[in-house]
């Protein structure tokens, strides 16, 4: 074999390919292991959710709970001491209004930073980006004091109003980046066609931003839907409490937590956001690709 | 339809960059004016100032004798076609064309009529319900034109509208735009960096460099009598050849000498009486020779001219582009390359530094000489010589073709 240089080259090529395949195998194995680790808690949640109440820790453990208790699905809403249906309604209001506020004001702010010229624009944008570094807990107390002063504690408004003032700097940043990726000539063409800034935003730019808005909206929905800390801080009476609070109080505050029902309620709470994500999955990915963030 | 007048227009950007300086131009009603120049010469800035997309730093802009400096783009009643077309990607062709009418609150039925009329004019009827992403480059270009036409603007502004098309399509669209302009008899201002586009389409051309007007004139005027080296170099394809040499004038006859014994007879030119160049003088000048004005003959023909050697040939079928090297003292077997033109004493001009002892010649028909063959170069009968002052780079006036 050693007499022909061609076969030697072929040989070394083969070696490289073999090595590459091996490397890929190792990488896949690693990723699968990570996946399993990520999925384990979810599996356990589902396992517990379908266990018969009181039978959660049966020995020996089984892969699938035995017996599978489908009844849990029906029992959950009426099992605890608190009106979960009312909480569900509050969660919808909180998530809906806060997300809407975020999307509207973040589009506006993103547009201003991307397209309008005004003094101090770069400074303001710098401050906005710097806010990304500010942890929630730093502003938590001052914010509480502020809303306390204006008498809004124990209402849903402190949870919603901030999100009608831009909400997260991340969203503003994302919208700005996306608007920057749209050629400015399109705005100029619209300007010559007779459109003002407002019209350019709503009829030219926003319709092109649907994937980004979907991505951003999904993130916001997931955040508000799962938010426990915010409602804990501001809401005291039953009237406005949200689902995460309800679930916690229903089961965890008990001396005898019923883990099967606890987990079933958590599982049911996951349904709306998971459905939303599955339905919008493709647009969600598109959104991140378009905005030039992630998706590598 | 309208006339456009720019008086002393200037543009200084926020970072202090001067894009346009003291720009004067009057565009007549129904004229197709082309602004041409290398990239960064300020031609797009001028267009954007006329459109109202860029603020005018100084000077006055008049459209139909009305001052427009501080008027919004839409009230100037102009339409613009962008280089990348800037179509609204989420709207159908119909909505793209219709938007400006909608924004002017024109009733729905009139709008529909107008859009369909425009689409028919441009051959877009079949694609009205498609989106820009589903169209070919040529169709997109036409949609951009349609969006401009539909509003009956008084002035059309076109910013390099052909540069995203392939060569064949470009020639076709060029004709389409010219025809359209004639049919609508509208005022059109067209920006391009391509002098071929400028020459083929324009009623008049403005050549710009570094934010300043170099020359305004019809394509023929620019070709026949460029005012300076820059315009001479810019207009014409292949570009004009430049050589530095000695201009000897005697009475009203003149001769151009390159170096020892290498003379180019300018026998079909003469000096106007009483002009700048008259009298007996001898001075160093730059001569411009159009590739299509040079004649190649064999050494044996005995025709006087400059001796050279064929360096390369680009046959184009009906014609050929020939590159030749000029040699000193070819007769005595001294093949040393002629002395390089010293660019140092000529204002560090970029152009002058490109002066080489090489010529590009455009010949008609089959080219019968071979690479490396010795030849003689002379001027053909329709040649005008272009003579430029080395210091000022301006054309030396007063030299005319013999009648």
Concatenate the DSSP letters of all residues of B21-54 into one string.
Answer: EEEEEEE-TT-EEEEE-STTSSHHHHHHHHHTSS
pLDDT digits (tens, 9 = 90+) for A31-52: 999 999 999 999 999 988 888 8
Tallying the residues shown for chain A, one arrives at 296
Beta pairing, strands B78-81 & B155-159: parallel
The pTM of the full predicted model, rounded to 2 decimals, is 0.79
CB-based contact, A81 to chain B, within 8 Å? no
**Does residue A30 sit in helix, strand or coil?**
helix
The pLDDT of residue B349 is 45
Any chain B CB within 8 A of the CB of A208? Answer: yes
Task: Return the closest-CA partner of residue B42 out of B17, B60, B7, B61.
Answer: B17
Residue for token pair 């079928």 = B317
Q: Does A185 touch chain B (CB under 8 A)?
A: yes
**pLDDT of res. A146:** 92
Alpha-carbon gap: B207 to the closest alpha carbon of chain A (Å): 25
A207: distance to nearest CA of chain B, Å?
7
Considering only CA atoms, which of B204, B239, B238 is closest in space to residue B220?
B204
User: Cβ of A61 under 8 Å from any chain B Cβ?
Assistant: no
From first to last of its 403 residues, what are the pLDDT tens digits of chain B? 689 999 999 999 988 899 999 999 999 999 999 999 988 899 999 999 999 999 999 999 999 999 999 999 988 999 999 999 999 999 999 999 999 999 999 999 999 999 999 999 888 999 999 999 999 888 999 999 999 999 889 999 999 998 888 888 888 888 888 888 888 888 999 999 999 999 999 999 999 999 999 999 999 999 988 999 899 989 988 888 888 777 887 777 777 776 555 677 777 777 776 666 666 677 788 888 899 998 898 888 888 888 888 989 998 888 999 998 876 544 444 444 444 444 444 343 445 545 557 789 999 877 888 888 888 888 887 777 788 888 888 888 777 777 6
Q: Would you give the DSSP letter of residue B387?
A: E
pLDDT at B328: 58
Strands ordered across the beta sheet of B204-209: B78-81, B155-159, B187-192, B32-36, B204-209, B212-217
Q: Classify burial at A225, counting beta carbons within 10 Å of its beta carbon; exposed 0-12, middle 13-18, buried 19 or more.
A: buried
- Which residues lie below 8 Å from residue B328, measured CB to CB, with a gap of 6+? B259, B260, B262, B334, B336, B337, B338, B339
Once rounded to an integer, what is the mean pLDDT over residues A59-77?
Answer: 81
Interface test with A, best of B53, B71, B85, B141 (most A CBs within 10 A): B53
Q: Is A22 on the interface with B (CB under 8 A)?
A: no
Residues B350, A95: Cα–Cα separation, whole Å: 65
Higher pLDDT, B144 or A259: B144
**pLDDT for the residue numbered B377:** 87
pLDDT for the residue numbered B185: 86
* CB-CB under 8 Å, A192 with B78: yes
- Inter-chain CB proximity B86 and A208 less than 8 Å: no
Q: Which among A189, A194, A208 is the nearest to B86, CB-wise?
A: A189
- pLDDT value, residue B117: 92
Q: Is A102's pLDDT higher than 90? A: yes
In this prediction the ipTM stands at 0.81
* Percent helix, percent strand, percent coil in chain B, to nearest 5: 25, 35, 40
Residue A4 has pLDDT above 80, yes or no: no
- Whether residue B382 contacts residue B338, with contact meaning beta carbons closer than 8 Å, is answered with no
Element containing residue A31 per DSSP (H, E): helix A5-49
**Facing residue for A204 by CB, picked from B74, B79, B88:** B88
Name residues whose C-beta falls within 8 Å of residue A246's C-beta, 6 or more positions apart in sequence: A80, A82, A83, A84, A87
Spatial CA neighbour of A208 closest among A98, A110, A102: A110
DSSP B153-188: -SEEEEESTTTTS-HHHHHHHHHHHHHHHHHHT-EE
Cross-chain Cβ contact A186/B74 below 8 Å = no
In this complex, do A192 and B89 lie within 8 Å of one another by their Cβ atoms?
Answer: no
CA A222, CA A161: separation in Å to the nearest integer? 18
B80 and A192 within 8 Å at the Cβ level: the answer is yes
Q: Do B88 and A190 touch (CB under 8 A)?
A: yes
Selected residues 85-124 of chain A with any CB under 8 Å from a CB in chain B: none
> Tokens standing for A212?
């980004």
Yes or no, beta carbons of A195 and B89 under 8 Å apart: no
Q: Which residues of A161-190 are buried (b: 16+ CB within 10 A; e: fewer)?
A: ebbeebbbbbbbbbbbbbbeebeebbbbbb
Nearest CA in chain B to A193: B100
Q: Do A193 and B100 touch (CB under 8 A)?
A: yes
Residue at token pair 């979810």: A42
The two structure tokens encoding residue B177: 């735009």
Q: How distant is the Cα of B100 from the closest Cα of chain A, in angstroms?
A: 4
Q: Number of A:B CB contacts under 8 A?
A: 54
Phi, psi of B29, deg, nearest 5: -60, 130
DSSP, res B84 = T
């Amino acid at each position: 074999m050693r007499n022909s240089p061609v076969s030697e080259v072929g040989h070394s090529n083969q070696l490289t390919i073999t090595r590459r395949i091996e490397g890929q195998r190792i990488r896949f194995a690693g990723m699968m292991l990570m996946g399993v680790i990520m999925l384990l808690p979810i599996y356990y949640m589902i396992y517990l959710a379908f266990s018969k109440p009181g039978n959660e820790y049966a020995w020996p453990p089984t892969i699938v709970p035995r017996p599978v208790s489908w009844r849990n699905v029906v029992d959950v809403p009426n099992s605890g001491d608190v009106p979960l249906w009312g909480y569900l309604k509050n969660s919808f209001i909180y998530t809906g209004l806060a997300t809407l506020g975020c999307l509207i004001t973040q589009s506006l702010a993103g547009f201003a930073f991307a397209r309008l010229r005004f003094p101090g624009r770069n400074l303001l944008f710098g401050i906005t980006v710097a806010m990304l570094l500010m942890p929630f807990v730093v502003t938590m107390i001052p914010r509480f004091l502020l809303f306390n002063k204006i008498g809004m504690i124990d209402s849903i408004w402190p949870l919603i109003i901030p999100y009608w003032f831009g909400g997260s700097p991340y969203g503003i940043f994302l919208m700005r980046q996306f608007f920057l990726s749209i050629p400015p000539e399109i705005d100029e063409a619209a300007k010559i066609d007779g459109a003002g800034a407002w019209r350019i935003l709503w009829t030219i730019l926003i319709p092109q931003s649907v994937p980004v808005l979907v991505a951003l909206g999904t993130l916001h929905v997931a955040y508000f839907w799962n938010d426990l800390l915010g409602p804990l801080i501001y809401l005291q009476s039953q009237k406005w409490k949200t689902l995460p609070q309800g679930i916690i109080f229903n089961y965890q505050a008990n001396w005898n937590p019923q883990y099967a029902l606890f987990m079933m309620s958590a599982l049911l709470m996951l349904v709306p956001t998971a459905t939303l994500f599955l339905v919008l999955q493709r647009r969600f990915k598109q959104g991140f690709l378009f905005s030039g963030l992630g998706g590598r | 339809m309208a006339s456009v007048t720019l008086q002393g227009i200037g543009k200084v950007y926020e970072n202090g960059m001067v894009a346009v300086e003291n720009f004067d131009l009057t565009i007549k009603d129904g004229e197709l004016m082309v602004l041409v120049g290398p990239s960064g010469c300020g031609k797009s800035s001028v267009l954007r100032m006329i459109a109202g997309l860029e603020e005018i730093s100084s000077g006055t802009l008049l459209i139909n004798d009305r001052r427009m400096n501080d008027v919004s783009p839409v009230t100037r009643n102009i339409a613009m076609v962008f280089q990348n077309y800037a179509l609204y990607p989420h709207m159908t062709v119909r909505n793209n064309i219709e938007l400006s009418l909608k924004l002017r609150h024109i009733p729905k039925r009139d709008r529909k009529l107008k859009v369909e009329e425009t689409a028919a004019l441009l051959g877009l009827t079949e694609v009205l319900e498609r989106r820009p992403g589903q169209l070919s480059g040529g169709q997109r270009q036409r949609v951009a034109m349609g969006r401009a036409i539909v509003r009956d603007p008084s002035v059309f502004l076109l910013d390099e509208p052909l540069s995203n098309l392939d060569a064949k399509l470009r020639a076709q669209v060029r004709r389409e735009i010219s025809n359209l302009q004639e049919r609508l008899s509208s005022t059109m201002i067209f920006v391009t960096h391509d002098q071929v586009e400028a020459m083929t389409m324009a009623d008049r051309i403005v050549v710009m460099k570094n934010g300043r007007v170099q020359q305004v004139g019809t394509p023929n005027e620019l070709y026949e009598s460029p005012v300076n080296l820059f315009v001479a170099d810019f207009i014409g394809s292949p570009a004009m050849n430049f050589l530095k040499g000695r201009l000897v004038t005697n009475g009203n006859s003149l001769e151009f000498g390159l170096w020892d014994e290498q003379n180019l007879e300018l026998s079909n030119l003469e000096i106007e009486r009483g002009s700048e160049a008259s009298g007996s003088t001898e001075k160093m000048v730059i001569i411009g020779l159009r590739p299509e004005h040079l004649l190649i003959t064999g050494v044996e023909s005995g025709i006087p001219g400059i001796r050279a050697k064929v360096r390369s040939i680009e046959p184009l079928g009906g014609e050929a582009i020939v590159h030749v090297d000029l040699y000193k003292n070819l007769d005595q077997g001294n093949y040393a390359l002629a002395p390089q033109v010293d660019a140092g004493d000529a204002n560090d001009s970029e152009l002058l530094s490109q002066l080489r002892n090489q010529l590009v010649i455009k010949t008609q028909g089959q080219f019968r000489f071979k690479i490396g063959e010795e030849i003689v170069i002379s001027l053909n009968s329709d040649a005008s010589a272009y003579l430029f002052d080395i210091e000022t780079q301006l054309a030396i006036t007063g030299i005319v073709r013999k009648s």
